[in-house]
């Protein structure tokens, strides 16, 4: 899917006039080809969860109700609480992702302009000034990337690492089943 998306962008770029091409920064094109293509691919992988997840939730609640009756409400309530907490953190992550995209675009644009005008930079001995500017943008980008990688791991470890101890034994299975499509690759589950 990523290849098809990249091909569409490439064909569109070939059809643009030179005036339109001058308005688009190379960093924006790079973001479209790398980051946005992977995001679209990720969305397409999980798009079926929009209808499968509610169906699974209903089936699990019905099965759970048959075995433990009212404990099912505790499991559903706990899962809904986790859902709202995750939605709040999701907004924070979305804000951070947008900031990372802007900083990356700025850094790529700055690098492209510096490389294109390298002879002028060398002639006036501006290397150290440009290096400092690029390194400051890069350090900001690295800081945001570190936040993006630490926060979800921390959140999922706290939420799902304690789930086993917080609920009675019969409630463990449905609450794990009703995890509502969290990022299980980063979650740490205690058995």
Span 102-153, pLDDT tens digits: 887 788 888 888 888 888 878 888 788 888 888 888 888 788 777 777 666 5
Q: What gap in Å lies between CA 155 and CA 85, rounded to an integer? A: 9
- Output the pLDDT for position 157: 55
- Output the pLDDT for position 146: 77
- Output the pLDDT for position 160: 56
Q: What is the dihedral of CA 145, 146, 147, 151, to 10 degrees?
A: 120
Angle at 71 between CA 69 and CA 74, to 5 degrees: 140
Q: Which of 2-11, 72-81, 110-119, 159-168 has the lowest mean pLDDT?
A: 159-168
> 161 vs 60, which has greater pLDDT?
60
- Output the pLDDT for position 150: 67
How far from chain centre, in Å, is Cα 55? 25
> 183 vs 163, which has greater pLDDT?
163
Burial class (CB in 10 A: 0-12, 13-18, 19+), 152: buried
Q: Which of the four pLDDT bands, split at 50, 70 and 90, describes residue 180?
A: very low
Q: What gap in Å lies between CA 62 and CA 58, rounded to an integer? A: 6
Helix (H) or strand (E) holding 9: helix 2-15
Q: Tokens representing 34? A: 């790398």
Q: Taking a C-beta distance cutoff of 8 angstroms, is the pair 166, 78 a contact?
A: yes
Q: What gap in Å lies between CA 1 and CA 8, rounded to an integer? A: 11
Q: What are the tens digits of pLDDT across the range 15-61?
A: 888 888 888 877 677 777 777 777 788 788 888 888 888 898 888 88
Angle at 115 between CA 140 and CA 108, to 5 degrees: 35
Q: What gap in Å lies between CA 90 and CA 93, rounded to an integer? A: 5
Q: Is residue 190 over pLDDT 70?
A: no
- Output the pLDDT for position 179: 46
Which of 132-137's residues contact partners 24+ apart within 8 Å by CB, and which partners?
134/107, 134/110, 137/103, 137/106, 137/107, 137/110
Residue partners of 108: CB distance under 8 A and separation at least 6: 25, 26, 27, 30, 31
User: What is the pTM for the complete model shown?
Assistant: 0.52
Q: Taking a C-beta distance cutoff of 8 angstroms, is the pair 75, 171 a contact?
A: yes
Q: Domain ranges in the chain?
A: 48-177
How far from 19 is each of 7, 11, 24, 94, 103, CA to CA, in Å?
22, 17, 9, 32, 25
Q: What are the tens digits of pLDDT across the range 83-104?
A: 888 788 778 888 888 888 788 7
- Output the pLDDT for position 178: 45
Q: Which of the four pLDDT bands, split at 50, 70 and 90, describes residue 181?
A: very low
């Amino acid at each position: 899917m990523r290849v098809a998306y990249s091909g569409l962008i490439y064909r569109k770029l070939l059809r643009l006039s030179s005036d339109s091409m001058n308005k688009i920064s190379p960093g924006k094109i790079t973001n479209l080809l790398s980051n946005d293509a992977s995001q679209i691919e990720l969305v397409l992988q999980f798009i079926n969860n929009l209808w499968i997840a509610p169906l699974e939730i209903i089936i699990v609640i019905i099965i759970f109700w048959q075995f433990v009756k009212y404990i099912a409400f505790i499991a559903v309530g706990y899962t809904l609480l986790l859902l709202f907490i995750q939605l709040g953190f999701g907004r924070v992550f979305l804000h951070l992702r947008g900031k990372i995209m802007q900083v990356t675009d700025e850094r790529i644009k700055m690098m492209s302009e510096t490389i294109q005008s390298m002879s002028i930079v060398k002639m006036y001995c501006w290397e150290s000034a440009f290096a400092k500017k690029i390194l400051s943008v890069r350090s900001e980008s690295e800081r945001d990337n570190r936040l993006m990688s630490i926060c979800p791991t921390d959140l999922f470890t706290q939420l799902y690492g304690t789930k086993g101890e917080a609920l009675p034994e019969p409630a463990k299975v449905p609450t794990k089943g009703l995890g509502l499509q969290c990022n299980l690759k980063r979650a740490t589950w205690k058995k």
